[in-house]
Structure 1
Amino acid sequence: MKQNRIDQLLQRLLTNKLTSHQRDAVRYWLANSEETDEKDAALKQVWDNTPSTPKKSVEPSLLDTYAKIEQAENNVVKITLAKRLLRYAAIFLLPLVSAFSVWMIMDHRQSSTLDMLTCYVPNGERWTINLDDGTTVQLNGGTLFVYPKAFGKQERSVYLVGEANFSVANDAQRPFIVQAKSLAVQVLGTKFNVTSYPSDDRITVTLETGAVKVYEKNNPHSGQLMRPNEQVSYSQKDKNFTKATVDAASFASWTTGGLFFDHQTLHDILAALERSYGIHFAVDPTLKDTDQYTLRIKPNESIEDVLHILVQIAGNQMSYKRDGQLIRLYQKGKEVSQ
C-alpha cells in the first residue's frame, strides 16, 4: 500500500495535479532520508517508463545541480546531498533527459567528490572536448558525457551514454576508464570508439591504435584484451562478448561527417541517421526494418542523397515523403500511414 501511495504521489507531481503547497511538501519529502528505498523504487519506475528526447538546455540545469552539491561542507554530506539533489532534479528534467542518463549519473556521482561537468550533444551535431589531461573526445549526436573538471591522482574516469571517439593522452600512472552502462573500457593511451546509446542492448568498442581492456564493471579481473582493428560487442541481455576484426577507421567516420554501416538493420541505420542529421523517421508497419545493409556515406552527404541511396539498396521497394524534419518511409506503391 505504501509503495502504491508513493507511486501515485509522484505521478500527481509530474502531471501538475498538486497545489503549490503540496508541491513544496513533496519536494521536501524527496530530499529527506525517510522511506528511501520506496522513493528509489518509485523514481526508477518513473524514469524507466518515461520516453524522452534530451535537449541541449539540460546542461545548464545539471551544472546548476552540481554547483549546489559542491556547496556542501564535508564529503559525507556532499555524497548524500548529491544523490538526493539529482533525484530531485530528475523529476523536473524528465522532459529533457532520458531516464537512463539521469539514473546513470545518479548511480555513479555518489562515489566521487570531483567537480563533475556534463555535456549533452543534440541530434544533428558533433562536438569536440579537450579534457584536463590532454585527451581529446569527439561526441556524436544524442550523446551525454559526464567528466571531471580535473582528474584525480589515481585514475581518469568518465561516463558515456551515446557515442564518442577518444584520443587518450598517455599516462602510465593513471589509467583512463570509460564507464558505459554495465561495461568499462580501460586504457593508458590510445585511440578508440565507444557506442553505448540508451536504446541499444549492445555496447560496441572499436580500437584504432594502442591497446584496451573491456570488462564488466562487476568483474574487472575478466574481460577482453583488444588489439588495433578489433571490435568487441557486448550484449547486456545475454552477458556475452563477441570479437571481430574490422577496419576500425571506418567506424569512426562519423567524426568527419561520414557514416559507415556494416551488415546493420534498417532500424539501426535510421537511428544513426536521426542522430547525425537531426531528423525523425516514421516507418510504416508494412515496411520490414530488420533487413541488414552495408553502406558507406561520404562526409557531409545531404539527407536527400542518403535517402536516394537507401531506396536503391532496398531494391527500389521503398519510398519516402518528407515534411520538414519528419520523413515517412513506406513500401513503394502503398500510401504512407498517417
Structure 2
Amino acid sequence: MEKSRFIELMAKSMGKSATDEELLELETFLDQFPEYRKTQNVANALKVERSKYRLKEKDLNAGLAKLWDNIRFSEGTVTPSEGNDPAEKQHVKAGFTWYWQWTAAAAILIACFSGLYEYSARRSAVLTLPGTSMLSVHVPFGKTRELVLPDGTKVKLNAGSTLSYPQSFSGNTRLVSLSGEGFFEVTKDHHKPFLVITEHLSIRVLGTVFNVKAYPNDKNIETTLLKGKVQVELKDRPEKNIILLPNEKLVVMKETSGDGDLVGNKEAKIEYQLRKLPNIKPEDIKETAWLNNRLVFINENFEDVAKQLERKYNVQMIFDDQTLKTEQLSGVLEKESLDNALGIMKMTTPFKFRIAGKTIHISHK
C-alpha cells in the first residue's frame, strides 16, 4: 500500500465516510504493519480529544496549503493540465483539492495532536497505573513537607503543592505528577528513568537534584537544575526536547491570547527561556530559598510576590488598587511575621495594608 493510500484510508476512517471494504483494507494493512497501529490509535483518540485541544483555523489553513503544495507533485499525482476540456480540468482540480485537503487535514491533525495525546496519556497514566495503589500528598498554605518515594527519591514540597505517585514503581519508568513546587533528589536508576509530569511540561531524569515550580495560577513554570542533567518536554511542543545542565533554569511563560481559534475560546501560548544561575552560594539561590523557609525576590512584580506571601503565610492578598500589581519589589524574608514582612516591603515601595483575619488589603499610601 502506498503512503498516500494509507493517509486516504485514515482520513476516511476519521471522517466516517469509509466503506466496509476500505475499513477492511485498512485493518489488513495494520495487521501486516503493526508499527502504523500507533497512528491509528492517535487518530481514534482525536475523535474524543479534539474538543480539548484547539487548533486555530488560520494555522490549519496555512498547514493545509503547504502540505497540499508538497503532496500535489509527489507519488505521480495526476494534475488537471493533462486534459483538454476546461470544465473537466476544473472538475478534476476540485476533486483533487477536496481529496487532498481531507488527507492533508488528517496528516496535520495527527502531527499536531499525536504529541499532545501522548503527553496527556502519559500524565493520566500516573493516576491510572493498573494494579498499583496511588498515593497523593497535598501540602496546605503555610506548610512544607518532606517525603521519601518508594525508590528512595527524596522530595520536599512547598506550600500549596500536590504530588501523586504509585505505592511502588513498576514498569520501565518512575512516574510522578506535580502541581505546585517540589525539590527532588532522585535516586539513580539507569534502567528506570524518573519522570515528573506537570500541566504544561514533563521532566525526564536518571539521577539528579532539581527544583520544579509549576503552580496552576502562576504566570511562569520554572525548572532549576543543581546537579546532573534533565530533559524537559513541553506539552504544546513535544518535538522540542530541552536539555538542562547544572546551574541552569528553564522558564516557561504561560500567556493567554487569541481570538481567532475555531471555537472562540482562548488558548494557551507557551514560550520559554533558558537562563544561567548567578555564581553565588547554593543557599543564596532564590529559586531554592524556600527550602530554608526564606523568600527571596529580585525585581519581581508585586502581584507575583503576593502569591508567594499567600502560600508562605496562608493568607489571601487583595489589591484594592490594581496599579500596585506591577510595582517592582526586591527583598529577603526569613523568620519575619506577616506584619513585619509587609513593613519591610513598605520601605522600598510606598503602599499601605489592612489585615482582616486571613485577608490582606493592599492599597496606595
Residue type at the aligned position of 1:195: K
Change in Cα spacing, 1:112 to 1:217, as seen in structure 2 (3 Å) is farther
1:319 paired with 2:336, answer no
Name structure 1 gaps, 5 residues minimum. Answer: 1-36, 43-102, 333-338
Q: 1:200 aligns with which of 215, 218, 231?
A: 218
Q: Which moved more, 1:211-220 or 1:162-171?
A: 211-220
C-alpha distance in 1, partners of 2:184/2:343? 32
Deviation at residue 263 of structure 1 after TM alignment: 2.6
1:306 paired with 2:324, answer no
Q: Which moved more, 1:136-145 or 1:301-310?
A: 301-310
1:239 paired with 2:270, answer yes
Q: Give the 3-state SS of the residue equivalent to 2:309 in structure 1.
A: helix
1:189 paired with 2:207, answer yes
Residue type at the aligned position of 1:305: N
Residue type at the aligned position of 1:245: K
1:273 paired with 2:309, answer yes
C-alpha distance in 2, partners of 1:200/1:105? 23
Q: Which residue matches 1:156?
A: 174
Deviation at residue 110 of structure 1 after TM alignment: 6.3
Change in Cα spacing, 1:104 to 1:323, as seen in structure 2 (3 Å) is farther
Residue type at the aligned position of 2:129: S
Residues 127 and 164, structure 2, Cα contact 8 Å, conserved in 1: no
Deviation at residue 220 of structure 1 after TM alignment: 4.9
Q: Give the 3-state SS of the residue equivalent to 1:289 in structure 2.
A: helix
Q: Give the 3-state SS of the residue equivalent to 1:309 in structure 2.
A: helix
Deviation at residue 104 of structure 1 after TM alignment: 10
C-alpha distance in 1, partners of 2:121/2:163? 11
Change in Cα spacing, 1:179 to 1:265, as seen in structure 2 (3 Å) is same
Percent of paired sites with the same residue: 29
Deviation at residue 253 of structure 1 after TM alignment: 1.1
Q: Which residue matches 1:15?
A: none
C-alpha distance in 2, partners of 1:246/1:296? 18
Q: Which residue matches 1:293?
A: 329
Q: Give the 3-state SS of the residue equivalent to 1:328 in structure 2.
A: strand
Runs (4 or more) in structure 1 with deviation over 3 Å come to 103-111, 217-221
Residues 164 and 193, structure 1, Cα contact 8 Å, conserved in 2: yes
C-alpha distance in 2, partners of 1:221/1:150? 30
RMSD across aligned positions (CA): 2.8
Residue type at the aligned position of 1:242: Q
1:141 paired with 2:159, answer yes
Residues 135 and 164, structure 2, Cα contact 8 Å, conserved in 1: yes
Q: Which moved more, 1:219-228 or 1:207-216?
A: 219-228
Residues 176 and 195, structure 2, Cα contact 8 Å, conserved in 1: yes
Q: Give the 3-state SS of the residue equivalent to 2:347 in structure 1.
A: helix
C-alpha distance in 1, partners of 2:220/2:141? 20
Q: 2:192 aligns with which of 171, 174, 188?
A: 174
Q: Which residue matches 2:90?
A: none
Deviations 1:80-127 (A, max 9, x none): xxxxxxxxxxxxxxxxxxxxxxx9999445652232111111111101
C-alpha distance in 2, partners of 1:293/1:235? 20
Superposition pairs of residues 13-92 of structure 1, within 5 angstroms: none
C-alpha distance in 2, partners of 1:149/1:262? 39
C-alpha distance in 1, partners of 2:179/2:273? 21
Residues 286 and 331, structure 1, Cα contact 8 Å, conserved in 2: no
Q: 2:129 aligns with which of 112, 130, 144?
A: 112
Deviations 1:54-94 (A, max 9, x none): xxxxxxxxxxxxxxxxxxxxxxxxxxxxxxxxxxxxxxxxx
Deviations 1:12-39 (A, max 9, x none): xxxxxxxxxxxxxxxxxxxxxxxxx99x
Name structure 2 gaps, 5 residues minimum. Answer: 1-46, 53-119, 255-267
Residues 126 and 177, structure 2, Cα contact 8 Å, conserved in 1: no
Deviation at residue 41 of structure 1 after TM alignment: 7.6
- Please, what TM-score do these two structures have when normalized by structure 2? 0.59
